[in-house]
Every structure is written in structure tokens, then in C-alpha cells.
Amino acid sequence: MENPYIPYLAVITDIRDETVGERAIKTFRIAFQESSVSKNFTYQPGQCAMLGILGKGESMISINSLANDDYLQFSVMKMGKVTSGLHECEVGDAATVRGPYGNGFPVDDWKGKDIILIGGGIGQAPLRPVINYVLNRRKQYGKLTLIYGARAVSDLCFRKELLELKKLKHLNVHLSIDKKEDGWKEFVGFVPDNLLKVHPSPKNAIAVTCGPPIMIKFVIANLLKLGFSDEQIFTTIENRMKCGIGKCGRCNVDNLYACKDGPVFSYAILKNLLNWSSG
Ligand SMILES: Cc1cc2nc3c(=O)[nH]c(=O)nc-3n(C[C@H](O)[C@H](O)[C@H](O)COP(=O)(O)OP(=O)(O)OC[C@H]3O[C@@H](n4cnc5c(N)ncnc54)[C@H](O)[C@@H]3O)c2cc1C
Ligand code: FES
């Protein structure tokens, strides 16, 4: 068996600024150096990988490219050593990738149901492949709704793409920003409040929320108010990770490992594991 700690060599082929500022987000496209690696590197929506740069280290990042893309895409918020190092990279620089890791979203179990995606800030990254997965199998799912917000227009991740998604017939997109800005015609306020305004029905539905922990807490509370059961609510957790393969014990949640058993969990499971209640 190959050593699971040895990463694949890759090169950065494209870099795009998503947002600016102290916690800027950049989107990186990465191509493996060996074509046999890219052929065999398959992944599900919600899975992640250890993205690394030489001399800085590795960070666990959600893979947000789509099934047919011939590159891997990661959107990275500048936080500390590794992510700042990535932000300093240029097209053509070397990178490393280990993975894919994690369970991903159980998208096939959700067939026949309405899907409500609720994201905030960088939380749109893991939701992006879910949107695409459902749009590519449109008839196999019910209504698809995206409720997404950021602090300001300039903080909306994948802004251009979101505006394109708004034009689609088979997807309802509800955007928000925290404070009023000139020219903004959509909701002003926090994501959990926009959720209550949109008021999706829990009947035969699944709700998925990704974003800052405080947003997730209030989104779950509001989903419960709307009548969603614990089993109908899914989220991802971002415990710090090192090995990514359930060996180092860095990311454990009770008797489970976020890197292997997660990062996607239903609220029913998470509530018991973390003694966490948003109700
Ligand atoms: C499953 C999973 C998916 C993720 N997906 C993405 C993604 O798509 N895009 C993205 O930008 N980030 C994502 N993250 C978070 C990312 O891994 C961390 O921000 C990154 O590892 C920080 O590394 P650093 O060396 O730059 O910062 P460090 O120097 O290690 O830390 C800087 C600051 O960031 C905080 N921090 C570090 N790691 C985490 C973490 N895991 N969660 C919350 N705070 C953290 C530290 O407490 C510290 O305050 C994900 C994390 C996990 C576990
Ligand atoms: S990151 Fe090592 S056990 Fe999860």
C-alpha cells in the first residue's frame, strides 16, 4: 500500500480573488503533475483534501470543483501560516494535495427530496458542488433553494457565479448582506433571519448549512422553529486536522473522527456527540 502521508505533486494553474481584506478569500485551480493521478482522484460533494505548499505546511480545504472539471478547485480564506502562504502564491507555483478525505454529503440518499442550502461567507465552498450535483440530476430531486449571505457585497464568495445562478429557473437563490448598501435589492440582515423570511417547508426536505459556527447555531435553531427534524438537518464541522485519515486523534468528536466519519454530520448525530443544542 502506498504511504497515505505522501502527497501528490501539483501546480497552481489559476488564482482568482473572491474577496479582499484581512480575511480575503482566493480561489485556486490546481492540476496534478501526473495525468494518472488526476484520472484516479475522484471525489464526492463535501469531501476535502490536504492542500499544501512547500516550506509552509498543509491545510484541510473543501474541494469545490465540479465532477467534470479537469482541475481541482479550492477557495481559501487567509487565516494563518499555510493559508497566508497560499495567498502569496502565483500561477505556476508548486502545490501538494493529499486526499480526498471525509464522508461528503449523502446526496444520493436525498433523491426525491427538496434541498435547502444555507450558507454564509466561505461556507458557500462546500455547497457549490452540491448545487451542481443536483442541477446535473435535476429531475431526481425536488425544489432546490439556496439561501446565502455575507457581511457585505464585497464579501460574497463566487459573486459572479451566484448572479448567474439567480437567472436559472430550477433553482431559487436568496442572497443577503448584513448591512444596507447602495444598489442592493435583496435581503438586508443575517442569514438565519433570511431563512425565516424564505420560510421553506420541512415536508420531504433536507436542509444543509455551512458557515461560521455562530451562523450555523442560529440557522439550526430557526430550522427547528420551521418544523425541520434533527435528522433533516446536515452541517459540516471544521475541527483542526493533521493526518486526515483517522490516525492522529487531532480532530476527534467524542468517539468519532471529523476527518474520517465527518466532516458532514446530521444535527441528530452532532447534537448527541457535542451535547450541542440550538433549540
Ligand atoms: C473539513 C474542513 C474543511 C475546510 N474547508 C475550508 C475551505 O474550503 N476554505 C477555507 O478557507 N478553510 C477551510 N477550512 C479551514 C482551514 O483548514 C483552516 O483555516 C486552515 O487550516 C488554517 O491554517 P493556517 O496555517 O493558515 O492557520 P493557523 O496558523 O493554523 O491558524 C490561524 C487561525 O485560524 C484558526 N484555525 C485554524 N484551523 C482552523 C479550523 N480548522 N477551523 C477553524 N479555525 C481554524 C486558528 O485557531 C487560528 O486562529 C476547512 C477545515 C476543515 C477541517
Ligand atoms: S486529522 Fe488525524 S485523526 Fe482526524
DSSP one-letter code for 7: P
227 C-alpha to center of ligand 1: Å? 32
Is 8-101 CATH 2.40.30.10?
Answer: yes
Cα–Cα distance, 233 to 15 (Å, whole number): 33
CA nearest ligand 2 atom 3, residue: 246
214 C-alpha to center of ligand 2: Å? 24
The three three-digit cell numbers of residue 54, written as one number: 512547500
Domains 8-101 and 114-274 share a fold: no
- State phi, psi for 31 to the nearest 5 degrees: -120, 135
Any ligand 2 atom below 6 A from CB of 268: no
* Strand, helix or coil for residue 122: helix
pTM over cut 0.75: yes
Q: What is the pLDDT of residue 185?
A: 93
Nearest to 121 by CA among 191, 47, 46: 191
Q: What is the pLDDT of residue 170?
A: 87
Q: What is the pLDDT of residue 1?
A: 46
Mean pLDDT by 10 residues, the chain (279 residues): 82 96 95 91 95 94 91 96 96 96 96 98 96 95 97 94 91 96 95 98 98 95 97 94 92 91 94 71
One DSSP character per residue, 43-62 reads --TT-EEEEEETTTEEEEEE
The three three-digit cell numbers of residue 63, written as one number: 474541494
CA nearest ligand 1 atom 53, residue: 238
Any ligand 2 atom below 6 A from CB of 237: no
70-82 CB burial, b ≥16 within 10 A, e <16: eebbbbbbbeeeb
Strand partners for 144? 115
Is 114-274 CATH 3.40.50.10420?
Answer: no
Cα–Cα distance, 196 to 24 (Å, whole number): 29
Cis peptide before 100 (omega within 30 of 0): yes
Q: Which long-range contacts (CB under 8 A, 24 or more apart) does 54-57 make?
A: 54/94, 54/96, 55/85, 56/81, 56/82, 56/85, 56/86, 57/81, 57/82, 57/85
Name the residue ranges covered by the structural domains of the chain: 8-101, 114-274
Q: What is the pLDDT of residue 254?
A: 87
185 C-alpha to center of ligand 1: Å? 33
